[in-house]
Structure 1
Amino acid sequence: MRARRRDEAHRTATPLELFFDLCFVVAVAQAGRQLAHALAGGHWGHGVSGYLMLFFAVWWAWMNFSWFASAYDIDDPPYRLVTLVQIVGVLILAAGVPRAFAAGDFTVVWCGFLVMRLAMVTQWLRAARGSRGAERRTALGYALGVTVCQVGWLGLLLLPEGDVLGVFVVVGLMELAVPALAERSHRTSWHPHHIAERYGLFTIIVLGETIAAATVAVQSALDESDELGTLLPLAGGGLLVVFAAYWIYFAVPIHLHLRSNRQAFLWGYGHYLVFCSAAAVGAGIEVAVEQAFGKAQLSASAAGACVTVPAALFMFTVWLIHSRHHKRGLAQHLVLPVSSVLVLACTFAGAWAVPAAGLVAAATVGAGVTLTARQGTALEQ
């Protein structure tokens, strides 16, 4: 296994990577579904904390593979087989999500994570075998770091339930430190355009899962009621939020910003909030629909917050780590931060919170397009 060139031409995502992403969305769907159930039942603290922890496991395993593949994907039979083993791991993890949410039992989740991480260690050891010097030390550093962290996750199984959050914070920080420590002396040859495409594709998949979750909620409501006057504004507002999220994310060519590990680490790590907020929007729409038809134990404003809070977080985070690097002038820089505040303010619209948030999101896209067009005209003149 030899490292691929950082300046390789026409470097794009492979069919295996696309298959890998589609299997990961099963775990994303499970986490979103459990979040929706918890929020609809009024269990805010339990639902949000459980969602953030389980989404971290899914996101981190996906990210580890994506950056490794960007540098070392040679697509031979051993590489494909080990990647398929990783897919088995995420399916095991997804199967354990309901139990982890309901009873705090992380056994199945930990086993699925173990399968994924052992496969990842195997890939790094194979990379170490095919390299020398600093590159070899980096590969071995990754293998050792992943192994140590996986042992640390045993705390979820062995320590009392009250210590779960502490274990998550400590070991999660250890996980985040592994790439920085492993690449101190040698930077892996990840490909900027390929990495940008991989993150973009996963964003599309997460947004697609959001639409799927919202569609199921709307279908269930239609099966039990014909109150289209209540349902259509919720569905329309939710779609506007998701469509705007797509437009906002893909408005800039971010690969031009990813020049070194310094930019790439901050951008890559920040996508934890981008992905988990995008997936949470779908759960929020589901909760809003259930509340509108009397099936959720929370107020209209609280149900609206289940959509407006993650939508606002998505907008602000995309601006902070992604879009602002290509904005010019104060007006362009203010669009997304101001819009995120306005989306949050829609929470107080009660039953109309979701439609209002959708209109704000659509106006955000319109403002961005207009300002970009004006800038282009000014440059031409």
Structure 2
Amino acid sequence: MAPHQTPAEAASRSGLAHAVVRMTGRDPKEEGRVSTPLELLFDLTFVVAVGTAADKFAELLSEGHVGGALLGFGLAMFAISVAWINFTWFASAFDTDDWVYRIFTMGQMIGVVVFALGLPSMFHSIEQGGHLDMRAIVLGYVVMRVAMSGQWWRAARQSPAYRTVCMANIRWVLLLQIGWVVLALLHIGLVTAFIGAVVLGALELLLPVFAQGHADGTPWHPHHIAERYGLFAIITLGEGVVGTIASSQGLLGGDNGTHWTWNAVAVVVCGVGLTFGMWWVYFATPFGELLELRPRRGYLFGYGHILVFVAIAATGAGLHVAGLYLEHESALHRVAVVLSIAIPVGGFLLLVYGLHTLLFSYADKVHVLLIALTGAVLALAVVLAAAGVPTAVCLLVITVAPFVSVVGAETVGHNHQKVMFAALEGND
């Protein structure tokens, strides 16, 4: 039991009681801190949201609306990621798991579902090319954020040490929600709406800076945060599996879809291979230990992951695009189809290496070599597509890309990482 916890608080957090517990802040050095069943249930609603966004992105992209598809998917994934991140960091610092906390969390889950239900109308409005219909997704987003503000309000009342930062979060969150509502209600064109969304999105990212500018941060747990981000990475990686199934089902031959075609085999190998390889690369870095040694890099870690999540989900959507193309249901050229997978895969690897470099404050020469080799593999796939090589072969070439990093990590990467950790511990 942490020194500042009462027996009732410790009992509640261990699942022995569910009376109302004062939200005094968790111990950031609490041993054995892991994700709670409520956090896992909360994540399930985001599975639906990410899946819907990826599915609509793939459909719009396959129809040749590249710019619109990127706009809709980027906006959807940004909102999904920011809402999830805000809840996760709050939970790491103040989770009480009592009935009040659970009710507020259920309210956020309702918001996620409303948001997911509004995604089709947003993508449809982009396809029509008139104005950006954000009404339903903004409604869901506001529900999420207002419920989150309720959590912050409770923490502000019951945690005097963190009252300033809690109240600042409430003020900025509610102010930004007014901005999103105004943007959703204005009947404006896509370009103007996009500019407005960029401005509001930038303010969302700066919210922790505004809220903590004149106060200490919250008592978040480094290993708990790293575990939560790893779980969300797995959720987005699940889109690779979903994209694989969606792509391969229409490629099975025979009256009952029981005949495996060469294209179906290639899609399955590529989908599972990419998903597994990207998972291996992500978890090669012990982010929990890094955050424990460099807690001031928490902001970089937290929001730097947004693009990582986008790249992972986009890879799954790209697999769906490939399946539609192989079924002759896409307006894209072969090269564009290959790029729809190669670009997010390459982006994911660059972002993971980038986070590794910035968190360690050290650029590993081995990583530079691995990035160059990975880029060569992805470029080869695109060149082969341009040369008329079957798309299935190009997909198999792309599958090799993450395993370049896997081989590097399993041979020399671990030793390099030990040296970097030793240097960090020495500096402390």
TM-score (norm 1): 0.93
Partner of 1:216: 246
1:371 CA drift (Å)? 1.5
Quote the Cα distance in structure 2 between the aligned partners of 1:45 and 1:169.
Answer: 15
Give yes or no for contact 2:250–2:323 (8 Å, CA) kept in 1.
no
The structure-2 alpha-carbon separation of the partners of 1:375 and 1:161, relative to structure 1 and needing over 3 Å to count, comes to closer
Structure 2 match to 1:143: 170
Q: How does 1:105-120 map to 2 (within 5 A)?
A: 105-120=133-148
Matched, 1:199 2:229: yes
- Cα-to-partner distance string for 1:116-150 (whole Å, 9 max, x where unaligned): 111001000000000225x2010000011100010
**Long gaps (5+) in structure 1:** none
User: 1:176 corresponds to which residue?
Assistant: 205
What is the CA distance between 1:169 and its match in structure 2? Answer: 0.8
Shift of 1:285: 0.6
1:234 CA drift (Å): 2.7
Local SS of the residue matching 1:152: helix
Listed one character per residue, the Cα deviations across residues 88-132 of structure 1 (whole Å, up to 9, x for unaligned) are 100000000010011131111111111111100100000000022
Q: Secondary structure at the match of 1:160?
A: coil
**In the alignment, structure 1 residue 369 sits paired with structure 2 residue 398:** no
Aligned pairs for 1:1-381 (under 5 A) are 1-103=23-125, 104-132=132-160, 135-154=162-181, 155-162=183-190, 163-184=192-213, 185-222=215-252, 226=259, 228-258=261-291, 259=293, 262-322=296-356, 325=359, 330-345=364-379, 346-350=381-385, 351=391, 352-372=393-413
One-letter amino acid of the counterpart of residue 62, structure 1:
W
How far did residue 318 of structure 1 move?
0.7
Q: Please state whether the residue corresponding to 1:153 is helix, strand or coil.
A: helix
Higher Rg of the two aligned structures: 2
Structure 1 residues 206 and 121: CA distance shift in structure 2, 3 A = same
Task: Letter of the 1:312 partner, please give it.
Answer: G
TM-score, length-normalised on structure 2? 0.83
Structure 1 residues 27 and 336, CA gap change in structure 2 (3 angstroms): farther
**Equivalent pair of 2:370/2:404 in contact (CA under 8 Å):** no
Runs of 4+ in 1 over 4 A off after TM superposition: 223-227, 323-331, 373-379
CA contact (8 A) 2:251 2:261 kept: no
- Hey, what's the Cα distance between the residues in 2 that align with 1:316 and 1:332? 13
Query: Given the superposition, is the C-alpha separation of residues 215 and 192 from structure 1 closer, same or farther in structure 2, using an over 3 Å criterion?
Result: same
**How has the CA–CA distance of structure 1 residues 321 and 137 changed in structure 2, closer, same or farther, with 3 Å as cutoff?**
same
Whether contact under 8 Å (2:377, 2:400) holds in the other structure is no
Aligned length: 378
For 1:323 and 1:9, locate their aligned partners in 2 and report how far apart those are by CA, in whole Å: 28
The farther-off stretch of 203-212 and 342-351 is 342-351
Aligned residues of 1:301 and 1:353 also touching (Cα < 8 A):
no
Contact 2:114 2:137 in 1 (8 A): yes
Which range moves more in the overlay, 322-331 or 306-315? 322-331
2:140 partner letter: G
Deviations 1:330-351 (CA, angstroms, capped at 9, x unpaired): 4432244224423441222212
> What is the alpha-carbon distance in structure 1 between the residues aligned to residue 285 and residue 153 of structure 2?
36
3-state SS in 2 of match to 1:222? coil
Give the superposed CA RMSD. Answer: 2.2
Q: Secondary structure at the match of 2:251?
A: helix
Task: After superposition, give the CA deviation of every residue in 1:338-378 in whole Å (9 maximum; x if it has no partner).
Answer: 24423441222212322111123223312321113676999
The alpha-carbon distance between structure 1 residues 251 and 374, as it changes in their structure 2 partners (threshold 3 A), is closer
State the alpha-carbon separation in 2 of the partners of residues 302 and 71 from structure 1. 44
Post-superposition shift, 1:26? 0.3
Quote the offset at 1:236 in angstroms: 1.0
**170 and 378 in structure 1: CA distance in 2 versus 1, 3 angstrom threshold:** closer
Deviations 1:230-282 (A, max 9, x none): 22123212322111100000012112222456411111111111101101111
Gaps of 5+ in 2: 1-22, 126-131, 386-390, 421-428
SS of the residue corresponding to residue 266 of structure 2 reads helix
**Structure 1 residues 249 and 179, CA, compared in 2 at 3 Å: closer, same or farther?**
same
Q: Which amino acid aligns with 2:244?
A: A
The residue matched to 1:8 in structure 2 has which SS? coil
Q: Which residue type is aligned with residue 147 of structure 1? A: L
**Measured at CA, do residues 57 and 275 of structure 1 come closer, stay the same or move farther in structure 2, by a change above 3 Å?**
same
AA matched with 2:281: I
The answer as to whether partners of 1:335 and 1:368 remain within 8 angstroms in 2 is: no
**Correspondence for 2:6:** none
Contact 1:36 1:287 in 2 (8 A): yes
